[in-house]
Amino acid sequence: MVIIPAYNEEESVGKVVEKVHTLLPQVEVLVINDGSTDLTSEKARGYGATVLDLPFNLGIGGAMQTGYKFAYEKGHDVAIQVDADGQHDPGEIPKLLLALTEKQVDMVIGSRFLGNSEFKSSMGRRLGISVFSKVISTIAGQRITDPTSGFRAASRKAIQLFASDYPQDYPEPEAVVLLHQCRLRMGEVQVGMSERSSGLSSITKIKSVYYMVKVLLAIFVDCFKKPPFLRQEGE
Amino acid sequence: MMLIKIQIIVGLLSMGLLSITFELIRKKKLREEYAILWLFTGIAVLVFSLWPEFFLSQFFVRMTGIFYLSAVVLIAFFFLLLIVFHFSVVISNLTEENKNLAQRYGLLELEFKELRKRSLPSETDTHPPPRSGGAGMTSF
C-alpha cells in the first residue's frame, strides 16, 4: 500500500494520488489528512484514495505513524511512503519494491544523491544534508546518502516497528537510527525527484541552521534511547 | 525582632498554601497525584517557621553555609523545581496519550465509514454484499 501524509496540500495531493493509481492500479492508496484546514481530504477522496482524517494536526511523525498503524492492522506486507507535495515520482515505486526484495532489507530509502543523479538544490541545503548523511552513516554503520528523504518502502517487520514506535519530531533521519537500534536492515536506491509542485518546504532558509542543530541533537539523544522490544509476529 | 516577623510571614504563607491545596483536593479540582508535591512544599516551609532554632544553630550554618531565610527560599525553590519537572513528565505522557488517541480515532472513523458504506446498499438490496473485512484483507 502507499501512504501519503498530507497537511494542507489540496493543490498537489490529487495529482499524486492519480499518478499512483494510473501507474499501480492494484495498490491501495491511503492519504492521511493531518488536520488540514483546506480541501485536502475532499480532493484526495475525489481521486479515489482512502482518506484517514485525523481530528487535529499531529505533525508529520504522528501522521506517518497512523499510516503504519493502518498498514499493520490491515496486514499489509509492504508500505511505501510518498510525499503529498509531488516531489516524489510514483514511477519510481517499483524500483523501491525491487530493492526491498532483492537486497533483503526492511527499509529502502529513495535517495536523491546516490550515483549520478542530477538533483538541483541550493548549496546550503546540500551541505546540510551531507552533514546529516555523515552523522547518520556513522551511527548506522552503513552509507546513507539521503537520510532526510521521505520516499521510502518498508517491510512488514519495519511496519510493525513503526506502528508501535515512530519518531515524532524529525521522523526521517530519526527512523533510520531507530531501525539500526532494532537491528533491522536498510538500503538505498537512486531516484529522481522534482522540485515540489506546490507548497513550501517545512524548512525555511533562516531557520535551517537552527533546524540542523535540533535534528542533530535529536539524533544524539536517540542514540541513548532504549530500543523498543519487537515481539515476534505469530506466523 | 526580625526573626519573629520572618517566622510569622513564612508560617502564614505555608499555611495558606496548605489550606488552598487541601481545599482544591476536597473540591476535586486537583488530583492527589499532582497535589502531593505541593503538600510537601507547604509542610517543609511550615517546619522552617515552627523550628527556626535548628536553622539558626551554629551546627547547621557551619554544615551548609546557609542562613535561615536563605534556607527557606532555597527549599521552596527546590520543591518548585521538582514540581515543574514533574509537570514536564506529566505533559509528555499526556502528549503521547493524546497522539495515540487521535490516531486511534482516525483509524476507527475510517473503519466506521467503510462499514457504513458497505452496509448502506444492503438496506435496499435483498442480498447483503459479501463481507470481506477482517483478517483476510488483501496484502499490499
Q: Which residue is closest to A66 within chain B, CA to CA?
A: B103
A23 touches chain B (CB under 8 A): no
Model confidence pLDDT, tens digit, residues B46-87: 887 787 777 667 777 777 776 666 776 777 788 889 889 989
Distance between A108 CA and the closest CA of chain B, angstroms: 16
Of residues A219 and A201, the one with the higher pLDDT is: A219
User: Are B140 and A70 within 8 A, CB to CB?
Assistant: no
Instruction: Give the per-residue pLDDT at A34.
Output: 93
Edge-to-edge strand list for the sheet holding A2-6: A50-53, A29-33, A2-6, A79-81, A152-154, A107-111, A186-190
Residue A193 has pLDDT above 90, yes or no: no
- Is a pLDDT exceeding 50 seen at residue A21? yes
High-pLDDT (> 70) share of chain A, %: 90
Sign of CA pseudo-dihedral B26, B27, B33, B35:
negative
Q: Give the rounded distance of the alpha carbon of A136 from its chain centre.
A: 16
Note the pTM of the prediction, 2 decimals. 0.79
For residue B105, is pLDDT > 70?
yes
Separation of alpha carbons A119 and A192, rounded Å: 7
Give the A window 91-150 contacts with B, CB below 8 Å: none
Residue in A with minimal Cα distance to B98? A58
- Mean pLDDT value of segment A145-157: 92
Q: How far apart are alpha carbons B124 and B129 in whole angstroms?
A: 11
Which of B96, B103, B109, B117 to substitute to test the interface with A, most A CBs within 10 Å?
B103
Across the interface, do B109 and A74 touch by the CB < 8 Å criterion? no
> What is the widest separation between alpha-carbon atoms in chain B?
95
The DSSP secondary structure of B22-89, one letter per residue, reads HHHHHTTSS-HHHHHHHHHHHHHHHHHHH-HHHHHSHHHHHHH---HHHHHHHHHHHHHHHHHHHHHH
